[in-house]
């Protein structure tokens, strides 16, 4: 009878302990249980954005801190995340190109070309509808986990990366400063992803010449840029159809982050898209051929365009949209043919170039810390 | 003695376990405003379903959404209790008949138990909110989308899809009707006596027939052979849509 009481007693205590346990991913089997020396004194980071940009979401389970962002920035620029230490996040997301790489599709460590173009990282903090072109992850934290183990990207595995962190002369202390861990074995991929997410949340672009003129009331657009603005934002001039860009690319982010089938493919049916995009994630046939609407901020620098980089220039992009798509059944109804002459094309492109944000492209806080 | 120790320890442990759990044992009062959409008598399903329209035409839909503002519940004494300042009712993800039957739920919590006599809401974006823009809101928020830069306001109603205008089974005509302007904002009262009991979840069933938004009947409908889009350019069209939605939205 006594032993039954003992069993019940320990079962109850275990139940209580389990219910109070935090969901951490501490690596108890990892050999490196060295204590990390150094301070943990987290300083909240206040992200100042222009008044015309939305407040930046700051998830309560990964609040921005000075040291968290600093660690994220190091990880972003460090090729330690790739299997042969040749590729970092910044290899495909270069600041001077608004964090794209200028390639139709990026190439991973094995030299294998990927299937999609590197997206700009500007203003990802505001996206609540899913990351990558197909929205396959819901948060920046989960997004940051995937490229490391993707064979056509970094082709590494997280266990190796964690060992590299734990044996690194600097990173254990950086993880401690950012997250307060005490042992090297407590460095996890989730903490690395949190740091990367924190850094990426700071990549706010909202200080282009367009912003300065329209919201900051500083200076004027040229006549040509103003004509382009009207083509961009106003759907009709009398009975003449305008491009209607702002249906999907509206203020202040110049994207709605939704998934749309923008009429690129002339396919006989919904199962014939060369890249099903969103449909491969959702499993919904009518999502095939849909991709996330990218921001047009800094669009001048993010060529080539579309998810597969098929268009080298903005002129080609406008030529595509002017045709009004191909009439595939799930094509977005806002994709409508419109007349546009050479002058209007240049006007529209001149306007698009006002969305280039030099302060974003040269902000030292976003640059390589090494 | 051992027995006592066990019971004391077990009680302590269970108390500890209980304090670490979410506080979910106390049911709150919830008013579930459920919205369903139909096209005529058929449930409204995006993409796949073709619906007979006027004059031999048929339509398929990809998007039907509208904003509601200042959603309030009226007490028996006539006073209003504001529940939500803004909500977007969006049927774009209704892709199956079962999803259409289930509808879209908008839950209102925190309403005190008691007797009520009506629901009141504005159809569209109330002028004080329509003067804001997405920069005023931390995403996700109903007003972080559907902003109309050219009109410095929000698109209150969006209807998008395709039409077969010749009866040949093809749907080449793209339909985009985007409606919004302060003058189109209207408040509507839905009379309904109900009692919300302590801990109860009470469902209020709203429905909207999209066909009635596009058509008042033969001879008075949006003719997709003549017009396939409007972005609040043509007052005849946008007031037709806004007025019709006002009438088509009903509480069962």
- What's A222-236 look like in SS3? CHHHHHHHHHHHCCE
- What tens digit of pLDDT does each residue of B218-250 get? 899 999 999 999 999 899 999 999 999 999 999
Strands (E), B98-247: 104-109, 114-123, 147-148, 153-154, 157-164, 173-179, 186-196, 201-209, 229-230
Topology annotation, domain A209-354: Cytochrome Bc1 Complex; Chain D, domain 2 (1.10.760)
pLDDT digits (tens, 9 = 90+) for A61-83: 999 999 999 999 999 999 999 99
State the pLDDT at residue A15: 47
Summarised one tens digit per residue, pLDDT across range A338-369 is 999 999 999 999 999 999 999 999 999 999 99
Q: Which two structure tokens, joined as six digits, stand for B112?
A: 């005190």
Q: Which of B206, B10, B9 is nearest to B91 (CA)?
A: B206
pLDDT at position B11: 55
Predicted model pTM: 0.89
Chain B, residues 118-157, CB within 8 A of chain A, namely 133-140, 144-145, 147-150
Residue A19 confidence (pLDDT): 46
Q: Where are the domains of chain A?
A: 22-205, 209-354
Q: Do B162 and A333 touch (CB under 8 A)?
A: yes
Residue window 215-234, chain B: list those with CB within 8 Å of chain A: 229, 231, 233
Instruction: Write out chain B residues lying below 8 Å of A16, CB-based.
Output: 12-14, 16-17, 20
B104 phi/psi in degrees, rounded to 5: -115, 130
Q: How many CB pairs under 8 A join A and B?
A: 112
The tokens describing A151, both together, are 């064979």
Contact A54 B137 (CB under 8 A): yes
Shortest Cα–Cα distance, A276 to chain B (Å): 17
Question: Would you place residue B129 in the very low, low, confident or very high pLDDT band (cuts 50, 70, 90)?
Answer: very high
* Six-digit token string for B240: 């037709």
Tokens describing residue A208: 């282009």
Average pLDDT value for residue range B191-204:
95
Q: Is the pLDDT of residue A18 over 70?
A: no
Distances (CA, A) of A13 to A4, A31, B2, B19: 14, 29, 16, 14
Q: Is the pLDDT of residue B12 over 90?
A: no
Contact B138/A54, CB-based, under 8 Å?
A: yes
Q: Do A251 and B149 touch (CB under 8 A)?
A: yes
Contact B21 A19 (CB under 8 A): yes
User: β-pairing, B229-230 with B173-179?
Assistant: parallel
Residue of chain A nearest B16, judged by CA positions = A16
Nearest to A165 by CA among A195, A206, A210: A195
Q: What is the DSSP letter of A88?
A: -
Residue-averaged pLDDT of chain A: 92
A14: exposed, middle or buried (Cβ count in 10 Å: 0-12, 13-18, 19+) = exposed
Residue A32: pLDDT band with limits 50, 70, 90: confident
Interface check B1 vs A, CB under 8 A:
no
| Interface contact B150-A330, CB threshold 8 A | no
On whether the CB atoms of residues A178 and A64 are closer than 8 A, the answer is no
For residue range A112-160, what is the model confidence (pLDDT) as tens digits?
A: 899 999 999 999 999 999 999 999 999 999 999 999 999 999 999 999 9
What is the band of B23 on the pLDDT scale with cuts at 50, 70, 90? Answer: very low
Which of A126, A256, A330 comes nearest B47 by C-beta? A330
Contact A54 B134 (CB under 8 A): yes
What is the rounded CA–CA span in Å between residue B211 and residue B208? 9
Look at the alpha carbons of A91, A92, A98, A104 in this order and tell me if their dihedral is positive or negative.
positive
What letters, b where the CB count within 10 A reaches 16 and e where it falls short, cover A80-110? bbbbeeebbbbbbbbbebbbbbbbbbbbbbe
Per-residue confidence (pLDDT) for residue A200, from 0 to 100: 98
What percentage of chain B has pLDDT greater than the value 90?
Answer: 85
CB atoms A15 and B20 under 8 Å: no
Q: Which of A234, A253, A334 is opposite residue B150, by nearest beta carbon?
A: A234
In this complex, is the C-beta atom of B9 within 8 Å of any C-beta atom belonging to chain A?
yes
pLDDT attached to residue A31 = 57
Local confidence band at B150 (pLDDT 50, 70, 90 cut-offs): confident
In the prediction, which pLDDT does B119 show? Answer: 97
Instruction: For chain A, say whether B96 makes contact (Cβ under 8 Å).
Output: no
Using 50, 70 and 90 to split pLDDT, how confident is the model at B22?
very low
Q: pLDDT of B202-218, one tens digit each?
A: 999 999 999 999 999 88
Q: A278 to chain B: which residues are within 8 Å by CB?
A: none
Q: Name the residue among B10, B150, B161 with its Cβ closest to that of A333.
A: B161
Tokens of B108: 């209102």
Distance CA A291, CA A368 (A): 30
Choose the closest CB to A20 out of B6, B20, B137: B20
- Mean pLDDT, all residues of chain B: 91
CATH assignment, A22-205: 1.10.760.10
Q: What is the number of other CB atoms lying within 10 angstroms of the CB of residue B18?
A: 12
Contact criterion met (CB < 8 Å) for A235 and B145: no
């Amino acid at each position: 009878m006594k032993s039954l009481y003992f069993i019940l007693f320990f079962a109850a205590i275990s139940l209580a302990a389990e219910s109070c346990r935090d969901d951490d991913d501490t690596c108890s089997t990892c050999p490196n249980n060295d204590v990390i020396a150094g301070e943990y004194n987290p300083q909240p980071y206040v992200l100042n954005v222009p008044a015309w940009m939305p407040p930046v979401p700051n998830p309560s389970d990964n609040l921005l801190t000075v040291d968290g962002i600093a660690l994220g920035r190091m990880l972003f620029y460090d090729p330690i995340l790739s299997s042969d230490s040749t590729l970092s996040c910044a290899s495909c997301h270069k600041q001077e190109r608004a964090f794209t790489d200028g390639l139709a599709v990026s190439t991973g460590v094995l030299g294998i070309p990927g299937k999609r173009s590197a997206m700009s990282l500007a203003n990802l903090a505001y996206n609540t509808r899913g990351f990558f072109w197909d929205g396959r992850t819901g948060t920046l934290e989960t997004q940051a986990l995937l490229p490391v183990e993707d064979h056509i990207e970094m082709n590494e595995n997280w266990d190796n990366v964690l060992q590299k962190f734990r044996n690194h002369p600097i990173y254990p202390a950086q993880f401690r400063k950012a997250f307060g861990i005490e042992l090297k074995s407590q460095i996890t991929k989730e903490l690395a992803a949190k740091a990367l997410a924190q850094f990426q949340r700071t990549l706010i672009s909202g200080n282009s010449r367009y912003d300065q003129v329209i919201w900051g009331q500083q200076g004027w657009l040229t006549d040509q840029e103003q004509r382009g603005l009207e083509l961009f934002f106003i759907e009709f001039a009398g009975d003449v159809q305008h491009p209607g860009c702002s249906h999907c690319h509206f203020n202040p982010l110049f994207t709605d982050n939704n998934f749309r089938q923008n009429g690129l493919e002339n396919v006989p049916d919904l199962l014939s898209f060369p890249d099903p995009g969103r449909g491969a994630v959702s499993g919904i046939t009518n999502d095939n051929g849909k991709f996330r609407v990218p921001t047009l901020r800094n669009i001048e620098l993010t060529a080539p365009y579309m998810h597969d980089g098929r268009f080298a220039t903005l002129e080609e992009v406008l030529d595509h949209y002017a045709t009004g798509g191909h009439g595939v059944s799930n094509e977005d109804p806002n994709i409508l043919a419109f007349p546009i002459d050479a002058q209007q094309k240049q006007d529209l492109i001149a306007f698009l170039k006002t969305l280039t944000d030099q302060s974003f492209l040269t902000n030292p806080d976003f640059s390589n810390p090494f | 003695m051992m027995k006592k120790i066990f019971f004391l320890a077990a009680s302590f442990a269970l108390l500890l376990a209980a304090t670490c759990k979410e506080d979910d044992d106390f049911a709150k009062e919830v008013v579930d405003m459920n919205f369903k959409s139909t096209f005529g008598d058929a449930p409204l399903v995006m993409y796949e379903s073709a619906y007979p329209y006027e004059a031999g035409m048929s339509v398929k839909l990809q998007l039907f959404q509208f904003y509601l503002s200042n959603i309030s519940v009226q007490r028996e004494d006539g006073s209003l209790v504001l529940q939500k300042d803004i909500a977007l009712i969006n049927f774009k993800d209704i892709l199956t008949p079962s999803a259409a039957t289930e509808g879209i739920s908008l839950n209102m919590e925190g309403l005190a138990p008691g007797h009520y006599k009506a629901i009141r809401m504005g159809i569209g974006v109330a002028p004080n909110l329509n003067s804001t823009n997405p920069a005023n809101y931390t995403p996700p928020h109903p007003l972080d989308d559907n902003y109309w830069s050219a009109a410095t306001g929000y698109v209150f109603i969006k209807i998008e899809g395709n039409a077969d205008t010749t009866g040949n089974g093809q749907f080449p005509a793209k339909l985009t009707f985007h409606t919004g302007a302060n003058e189109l904002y209207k408040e509507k009262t839905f009379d309904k006596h109900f009692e919300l009991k302590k801990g109860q979840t009470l469902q209020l069933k709203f429905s909207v027939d999209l066909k009635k938004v596009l058509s008042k009947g033969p001879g008075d409908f949006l003719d997709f052979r003549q017009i396939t889009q409007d972005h609040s350019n043509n007052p005849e069209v946008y007031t037709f849509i806004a007025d019709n939605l006002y009438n088509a939205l009903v509480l069962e």
